[in-house]
């Protein structure tokens, strides 16, 4: 059995085949052309990235912002608004509060767990002043982390690192 081609009007057959194929190719081409056209109002970003954009335009990151709120509420009264140990109450303490902008604090910040320990368990537990109360029952671990993030911001970049 062979595939014998009927020889009736082969010209018409070929023309019809070509026409049908051309039609299909053109239809597929148009499908792509129209598919690439988009409605106006396709700005590069949408609401999903809104939060990121807001965060980018803010001077502080989200963690630092939360940390700053906590710092201003609980800590600034002794440690000062900018962490320079110049809070309203600083002069009244027998042992002055920690200056977060001093180089030795930057060094201490390398060991984050130690700083967290002082915050959570108080100064006395780490052999520091009893004037630093324990905040472990007041702040939850997430808040402590946020606070430390903000402290890092106050302390500035570690010595040797290029400035911002």
Partner 1 sequence: MSEKLEELRVSEEATEVITVRRRRTSGTEGATRTSGEGEVHVWPHLVYRELICTVLVVGVLFAVSLIFDAPLEEQANPSNTPNPAKAAWYFLGLQELLVYFDPWFAGVVLPSLIVAGLVALPYLDINRGDGPGLAAEPRRLAVPVFVAGLAIWFVTILIGQYFRGLSWAWYWPWENWHIPKATEAFSWNFPLPAGLASVGLFGLVGFVLPGLISRRFYRRLGPVRYLTTCFFLTVMAAIPVKILLRLVFGVKYVLATPWFNL
Partner 2 sequence: MSLRALFGLSSLLLALLTLATFVDEFTASWADHQREYNTLLAEKATDPALKKELVSRWPVFEQIYNPELGVVDRCILCHRGIDNPDMKNASQPHRSHPGNLLESHPQQKYGCTICHQGQGRATDKQAAWGRVSHWEKPLLTGSFVQATCTRCHVSGDVPQAPLISRGRKMLRSLGCVACHQVEGLGGVDPRVAPDLSGIGSKVTRAWLSRWLTRPDSVLPAPKMPDYGLRSGEVEAIAAYLMQQRSPMVDSAPAVPEGDYDRGSLIYKQFQCIDCHVTRFSRNGKPVGGSIGPALVHVATKTNRKWLFAWLRETHRMQPRTLMPHFKLSDQQAADLVEYICEEWYDPDIEDEVLDEPEPAPGEQKKELAAVGMALFANYGCSGCHGIDHGPSPTRIGPELTYIGSKDLHRFDFGKVDIRHTRPDYFFAKVKDPGQFGKGLDVPSHLLSSRELLERIWKGLTPAALFSERTPLPAGKEDDTVTWILDRVKAAGFLKKATMPPPSDEASRPVWLRKTLENSGAFSVLKMPDFGLSDEDSLALTIALMSLTEEGPPSKRYIASPPATQHFDPQGQVGQLFDRYRCLSCHSVWDQGENLAADLSNEGSRVDRNWLYEFLRRPYSMRRTLTIAMPQFHLTEDEARTLADYLWFVTTRDDIPGRLDPPLTATEAEAGKLLFQAKGCQACHQTSTGGGDVGPSLATQVPDFPVGTWAGDKLREGWVATWLKNPHALLPEAREPRLDLTQAEIRALTAFVMSLRWPGPQQKVNP
Print the binding letters for residues 123-152 with partner 2: x by CB under 8 A, - otherwise.
Answer: xx----xxxxxxxxxx--------------
Locate the DSSP E strands across 28-142. none
111 makes contact with partner 1 (CB under 8 A):
no
Among the listed residues 39, 59, 113, 164, the single contact to partner 2 using CB under 8 A:
39
- Phi, psi (degrees; rounded to nearest 5) at 55: -60, -40
Among the listed residues 17, 18, 21, 30, the single contact to partner 1 using CB under 8 A:
30
Print the binding letters for residues 41-80 with partner 2: x by CB under 8 A, - otherwise.
Answer: xxx-xxxx-xx--x--xx--------------xx--xx--
Closest to partner 2 by CB, 98 vs 106, is 98
The contacts of residue 90 (CB under 8 Å, 6+ apart) are 78, 79, 80, 96, 97
Classify 156 as helix, strand or coil: coil
5 makes contact with partner 1 (CB under 8 A):
no
12 contacts which partner out of partner 1, partner 2, none, CB within 5 to 8 A by kind? partner 1
Matching residue, tokens 């988009």: 38
28 makes contact with partner 1 (CB under 8 A):
no
The contacts of residue 84 (CB under 8 Å, 6+ apart) are 99, 100, 101
Q: What share of the chain is helix, strand, coil (3-state, %, to 5)?
A: 55, 0, 45
Angle at CA of residue 126, ends 123 and 138, nearest 5°: 45
Closest to partner 2 by CB, 4 vs 104, is 4
Where along the sequence are the contacts to partner 1 (CB under 8 A)?
1, 6-9, 12, 16, 19, 23, 26-27, 30-31, 33-34, 37-40
């Amino acid at each position: 059995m062979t595939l014998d081609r009927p020889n009736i009007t082969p010209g018409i057959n070929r023309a019809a085949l070509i026409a049908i194929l051309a039609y299909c190719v053109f239809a597929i081409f148009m499908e792509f052309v129209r598919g690439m056209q988009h409605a106006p109002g396709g700005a590069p970003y949408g609401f999903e990235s809104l939060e990121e954009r807001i965060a980018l335009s803010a001077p502080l990151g989200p963690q630092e912002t939360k940390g700053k709120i906590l710092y201003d509420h609980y800590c600034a009264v002794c440690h000062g608004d900018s962490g320079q140990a110049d809070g309203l109450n600083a002069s009244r303490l027998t042992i002055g509060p920690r200056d977060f902008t001093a180089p030795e604090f930057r060094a201490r910040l390398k060991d984050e767990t130690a700083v967290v320990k002082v915050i959570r368990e108080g100064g006395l537990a780490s052999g520091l002043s009893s004037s630093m109360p324990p905040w472990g029952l007041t702040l939850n671990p997430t808040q402590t982390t946020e606070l430390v993030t903000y402290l890092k911001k106050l302390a500035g970049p570690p010595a040797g690192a290029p400035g911002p």
